[in-house]
Structure 1
């Protein structure tokens, strides 16, 4: 089941026509709903948020069918022996705690100040987050190699990190954070470190120098995902 089918299913379940749903979303014409249901393109994050609000569900609830459906279809094709082999070889994966938006680094600088996290343009993609998090949590894709460590925990370029702005007031030395430099309109991903009473930003890659400029903590990194 894709997004188009899911949307039509939920709309019909509510007894709404395409025009009814478009009106509930504040749109002048039903063509946007019609286009999404014909799978001409996927809805943006802001449009999907409006649709879900009109249907009385959360965005996470809209996507829950994907996880359940894939698990059910996968299980249907397995024999008992297959289950035994899988249980012997792997452990169960983390539970999904809802979906969060992937945003740009430019947006990250203002995200924690936004009252409406479903503002148009803030995100165009949603991904599952395996950890309990606040409503403000977002995801960023790592850029560059400053957080690629030679040993231990590493965040190579392309990795996804989950950031919770509500935890920015409780970070400690050694935590990974998103910070905004005071003298530059620039956001960075670093480890919080200290030299006496002076806090600074430390890269996990030793080839990158520490940052001693004044900064503001925007959020705490609560997890990451790296593709194989």
Structure 2
């Protein structure tokens, strides 16, 4: 079993969410998710901190191989550039992928995440996804969208609301058979959904701007 799977099993055993573990080890839930899946490395110091919080104790043989953990977790992966498009274009893509042409975009932003053949970036509008916790997506930050992604409760999605025709960025939640779009900013209301929306894609990476 690799170290990512060991971390995941230990976190589940302690009934910790990725967000809760990220808070305790001062990390990002996205980074931890990729670490668990073997898609990202981390520093030996951070790895020891995670293991300490989760109470992970390795056998002598496993411990002897810890110096090679980073190499084993992440083979090198070249960044790929995806187009930065407008929310209007993103909403039109929800109707038909044939209308979406990445080559039409003027700006391209690189990411090591795989958003698929038609992945694209959007600029976050407003402060509904801004919060004091982690993650937070302030206005002006960039989000990478992977179209046609599976729906997973707790993940973040760009969604087109069919009644208004507007597109929005929210956290998707399933609870007791009900489905919601939840903002991270508590000043905004949670939106119940029952089929009157179109999921454009899942947000799999983000970048801050203006730092």
TM-score interval, smaller chain: 0.5 to 0.7
- Find out whether 1:115 has 2:104 as its counterpart: no
Measured at CA, do residues 181 and 206 of structure 1 come closer, stay the same or move farther in structure 2, by a change above 3 Å?
A: same
Structure with more of its chain in strand, by fraction: 2
**CA RMSD across the alignment:** 2.0
TM-score, length of structure 1 as denominator length: 0.54
Contact 2:115 2:144 in 1 (8 A): no
Correspondence for 1:160: 142
TM-score, length of structure 2 as denominator length: 0.58
Aligned residues: 132
- Find out whether 1:124 has 2:106 as its counterpart: yes
Gaps of 5+ in 2: 1-75
Gaps of 5+ in 1: 1-93
Contact 1:164 1:220 in 2 (8 A): yes
* Larger-Rg structure: 1
- Once the two structures are superposed, what CA deviation does each residue of 1:163-218 show, in whole Å capped at 9, x if it has no partner? 01031xx1211000001112111000000013421211000001111112432211
Contact 1:102 1:125 in 2 (8 A): yes
- Find out whether 1:222 has 2:204 as its counterpart: yes
Deviation at 1:115, TM superposition (A): 2.4
- Once the two structures are superposed, what CA deviation does each residue of 1:127-149 show, in whole Å capped at 9, x if it has no partner? 11221221110000001000001
Contact 1:96 1:128 in 2 (8 A): no
Measured at CA, do residues 96 and 158 of structure 1 come closer, stay the same or move farther in structure 2, by a change above 3 Å?
A: farther
Correspondence for 1:103: 85
